[in-house]
């Protein structure tokens, strides 16, 4: 599993691209854990780009989300639904 932490303020596609820039180009066979526990505010464009980079372009088996608040979970689900990859998005239940 590859772990990625969100910044406390995640507001742009550029931030998501920078966050995923060090990931392998091909993530088939991998699960990426997106740790949102430090996230204070996140924009729809950031979450959409994370889904795009990890699940669509790099084809990870799964994007697992931990520590996300309701709004972040909703935005991630919307992005995954819009990109037809919802079955590969796993959101941990809030603690």
Q: Which of 52, 54, 48 is nearest to 24 (CA)?
A: 54
pLDDT band at 93 (very low <50, low <70, confident <90, very high): confident
pLDDT tens readout for residues 5-41 = 999 999 999 999 999 999 999 999 999 999 999 999 9
For 46-57, the pLDDT digits (tens) are: 999 999 999 999
Collapse the DSSP code of 1 into the 3-class scheme (helix H, G, I; strand E, B; otherwise coil) and give the result: coil
Report CA torsion sign: 45, 49, 50, 52. positive
Query: pTM of this prediction?
Result: 0.94
């Amino acid at each position: 599993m590859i772990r990625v932490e969100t910044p406390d303020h995640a507001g742009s596609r550029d931030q998501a691209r920078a966050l995923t820039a060090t990931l392998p180009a091909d993530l088939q066979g991998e699960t990426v854990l997106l740790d949102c526990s430090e996230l204070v505010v996140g924009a729809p464009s950031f979450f959409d780009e994370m889904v795009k980079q990890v699940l669509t372009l790099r084809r990870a088996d799964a994007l697992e989300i931990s520590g996300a608040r309701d709004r972040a979970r909703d935005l991630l689900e919307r992005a995954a639904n819009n990109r037809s990859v919802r079955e590969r998005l796993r959101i941990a239940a809030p603690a």
